[in-house]
């Protein structure tokens, strides 16, 4: 008969092992997201994942049997459409300028909390073959509505969209690669709104509206 208390150390060791395995799996997934951002979804290889994670090939294969398994795990982690819940949460803003700012800030704040998601968004916005429909739509609808409502002033929609997406991608890379002040996201959002023709005080107000982050 097993004596009381004998099984507890085994469970504890098993739990420790599971925690270590989970941490290594997360490390590999974050490294995979960085590699995809740097090399593209189609070109990133297992060697790129290993180099980013600074682990051995054997360690990689302890967690993933092939490249596609890691990619599948990444999409399961962040969701097939990482923008859907963000856009749904920001739909409460009737003003297209406020909605555009809310989506922009929410994306960047989520990336700040979850580097894996952040690097995937960077990768998705760089490679047209992997961009999902919601991401392709951002931020053009609210730019068009905002211009029609007199909230924005720009001549060319494509240029305005490129300005927003390019600035957000640069900001995401900065957040993920280096230290930035706590109000960095709001400051960047204010600059975007100002560049779209909004008055400075209004841009400041909108960039600091309360958010219900998903």
Q: How far is CA 200 from CA 87, 124, 148, 157, in A?
A: 25, 31, 20, 21
Q: Which two tokens stand for residue 149?
A: 């409502």
Q: What is the pLDDT of residue 108?
A: 92
> What residues contact residue 38 under an 8 Å CB cut-off, 6+ apart?
44, 48, 52
pLDDT in the model for residue 99: 96
For residue 94, what are the contacts with CB-CB under 8 A and spacing of at least 6? none
**The pLDDT value given to residue 51:** 96
Instruction: Quote the pLDDT of residue 28.
Output: 94
Q: Where are the domains of the chain?
A: 7-78, 84-206
CA distance 102 to 9: 49
Number of H helices, E strands in the chain: 12, 0
- For residue 105, what pLDDT is reported? 96
Q: How far apart are CA 124 and CA 145, in angstroms?
A: 25
Helix spans in 40-156 (H): 46-53, 57-63, 67-78, 84-90, 96-113, 115-126, 133-137, 140-148
Yes or no: say if 60 and 50 are a contact pair by the CB < 8 Å rule.
yes
Please give the CATH topology (third level) of the domain spanning 7-78.
Arc Repressor Mutant, subunit A (1.10.10)
Q: Of how many residues is the chain composed?
A: 214
Residue ranges in the chain whose pLDDT is less than 50: 1, 7-8, 129-132
CB of 154 closer than 8 Å to CB of 160: yes
CATH class (in words) of the domain with range 84-206: mainly alpha
What digits encode the pLDDT tens for the residues 125-175? 655 544 445 555 679 999 999 999 999 999 999 999 989 988 988 999 899
The one-character DSSP state at 208 is: T
pLDDT at 62: 95
């Amino acid at each position: 008969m097993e004596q009381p208390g004998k099984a507890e150390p085994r469970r504890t060791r098993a739990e420790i092992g599971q925690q270590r395995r989970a941490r290594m799996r997360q490390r590999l997934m974050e490294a995979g997201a960085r590699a995809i951002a740097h090399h593209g979804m189609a070109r990133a290889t297992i060697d790129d994942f290993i180099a980013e994670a600074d682990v051995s090939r054997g360690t990689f294969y302890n967690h993933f049997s092939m490249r596609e398994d890691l990619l599948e795990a990444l999409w399961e982690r962040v969701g097939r459409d990482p923008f859907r819940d963000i856009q749904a949460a920001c739909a409460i803003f009737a003003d297209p300028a406020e909605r555009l700012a809310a989506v922009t800030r929410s994306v960047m704040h989520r990336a700040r909390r979850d580097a894996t998601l952040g690097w995937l968004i960077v990768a998705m916005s760089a490679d047209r073959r992997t961009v999902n429909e919601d991401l392709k739509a951002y931020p053009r609808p609210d730019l068009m509505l905002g211009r029609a409502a007199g909230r924005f002033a720009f001549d060319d929609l494509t240029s305005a969209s490129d300005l927003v997406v390019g600035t957000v991608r640069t900001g995401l890379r900065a957040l993920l690669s280096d230290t930035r002040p706590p109000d960095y996201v709001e400051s960047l959002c204010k600059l975007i709104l100002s560049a779209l023709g909004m008055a400075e005080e209004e841009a400041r107000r909108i960039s600091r509206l309360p958010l219900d982050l998903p």
